[in-house]
């Protein structure tokens, strides 16, 4: 079933929303969006990373955005902040924050804005390039879901939210906290190869020069140590 056909499955609820907006009952229209379940054809199940062997329910990003444009007439990403890269025990993570704008149903109100955040873990540095756009997509989905049930907000409530996707479950450090954490990790590195795995994070433009200087100093120290041992 293509996107156009999937969108048609939502027409019964779309028409009810349209009627409430035309009657200027904007709060009721928003309440209907929140209380409605998405058409079953929209829902997919994906393997859970947080609880292996189980699945969680979600909506594809394309149908979520198509439904947003059908209801609100205009909906789009208004800002994507620079990804935050973090590292722990050889694994990397990319965190993306986005702002998502849509037209208010109320004719006298300004456009609305919602925010989404998501983190995707990458097993090694070579996969970061793929992790960043995935995190952006998850952030958009997390933003739109805030509008309610029609966009999948309550799909996994029966499972008491145990089965949430792993992407949005990571703790995000501020640039200052990340720099402090990296300083400790750099000092604790015991060999040259381990220290080299921090290169991409260290040379992120948000990292202070002092941290980069420490990194380069430790690189020289560990390189010299390796030579003397060899």
**Would you place residue 169 in the very low, low, confident or very high pLDDT band (cuts 50, 70, 90)?**
very low
Average the pLDDT over 54-66 and give the result: 92
Cα 70 versus chain centre, distance: 23
Of the candidates 205, 217, 184, the residue with the CA atom closest to the CA atom of residue 84: 205
Is pLDDT above 90 for 190?
Answer: no
pLDDT for position 94: 86
| Whether 203 contacts 171, CB under 8 Å | no
pLDDT for position 112: 93
CA 40-43-49 angle, to 5 degrees, is 150
To which residue do tokens 């999948």 refer? 152
Q: How high is the mean pLDDT of the chain?
A: 83
Average the pLDDT over 138-167 and give the result: 76
Say how far apart CA 38 and CA 16 lie, in whole Å: 14
pLDDT for position 117: 93
Average the pLDDT over 69-93 and give the result: 85
Q: Which two tokens stand for residue 19?
A: 């009627």
**Would you place residue 91 in the very low, low, confident or very high pLDDT band (cuts 50, 70, 90)?**
confident
Is pLDDT above 90 for 24?
Answer: yes
pLDDT for position 5: 95
Query: What SS3 state is found at 161?
Result: coil
Average the pLDDT over 42-52 and give the result: 83
Of the candidates 61, 71, 75, 69, the residue with the CA atom closest to the CA atom of residue 140: 61
Is pLDDT above 50 for 63?
Answer: yes
3.30.360.10, 3.40.50.10490, 3.30.390.80, 3.40.640.10: which CATH number matches 3-172? 3.30.390.80
pTM for this entry? 0.69
Rounded to the nearest 10 degrees, the angle between the axes of helix 11-22 and helix 61-72 is 30
Average the pLDDT over 77-90 and give the result: 80
pLDDT for position 89: 67
Greatest mean pLDDT among 34-43, 52-61, 129-138: 34-43
Say how far apart CA 25 and CA 19 lie, in whole Å: 9
Looking at per-residue confidence, does 169 or 131 come out higher? 131
Q: Which two tokens stand for residue 185?
A: 């990790």
pLDDT tens column, 112-123: 999 999 998 877
- In sign, the C-alpha dihedral spanning 123, 85, 81, 163 is positive
Q: What is the dihedral of CA 4, 56, 165, 29, to 10 degrees?
A: 50
Of the candidates 12, 124, 20, 142, the residue with the CA atom closest to the CA atom of residue 77: 142
Sequence spans of domains, the chain: 3-172, 173-230
Say how far apart CA 77 and CA 143 lie, in whole Å: 10
Rounded to the nearest 10 degrees, the angle between the axes of helix 175-188 and helix 209-229 is 10
**Would you place residue 125 in the very low, low, confident or very high pLDDT band (cuts 50, 70, 90)?**
low
Is pLDDT above 50 for 165?
Answer: no
Is pLDDT above 50 for 79?
Answer: yes
Count of residues in the chain? 230
Q: What is the dihedral of CA 83, 86, 92, 98, to 10 degrees?
A: -30
């Amino acid at each position: 079933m293509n996107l156009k056909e999937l969108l048609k499955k939502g027409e019964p609820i779309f028409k009810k929303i349209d009627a409430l907006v035309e009657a200027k009952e904007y709060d009721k229209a928003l309440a209907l969006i929140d209380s409605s379940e998405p058409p079953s054809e929209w829902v997919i199940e994906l393997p859970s990373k947080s609880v292996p062997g189980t699945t969680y329910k979600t909506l594809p990003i394309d149908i979520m955005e198509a439904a947003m444009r059908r209801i609100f007439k205009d909906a789009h990403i208004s800002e994507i902040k620079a990804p935050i890269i973090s590292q722990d025990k050889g694994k990397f993570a990319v965190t993306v924050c986005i702002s998502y704008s849509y037209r208010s149903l109320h004719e006298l109100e300004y456009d609305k804005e919602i925010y989404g955040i998501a983190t995707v873990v990458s097993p090694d540095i070579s996969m970061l390039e793929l992790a960043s756009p995935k995190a952006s997509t998850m952030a958009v989905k997390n933003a739109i879901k805030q509008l309610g049930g029609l966009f999948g907000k309550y799909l996994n409530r029966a499972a008491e939210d145990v089965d949430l996707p792993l992407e949005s479950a990571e703790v995000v450090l501020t640039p200052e906290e990340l720099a402090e954490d990296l300083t400790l990790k750099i000092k604790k590195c015991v060999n040259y190869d381990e220290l080299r795995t921090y290169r991409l994070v260290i040379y992120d433009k948000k990292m202070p020069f002092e941290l980069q200087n420490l990194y380069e100093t430790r690189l020289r120290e560990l390189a010299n140590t390796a030579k003397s041992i060899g």
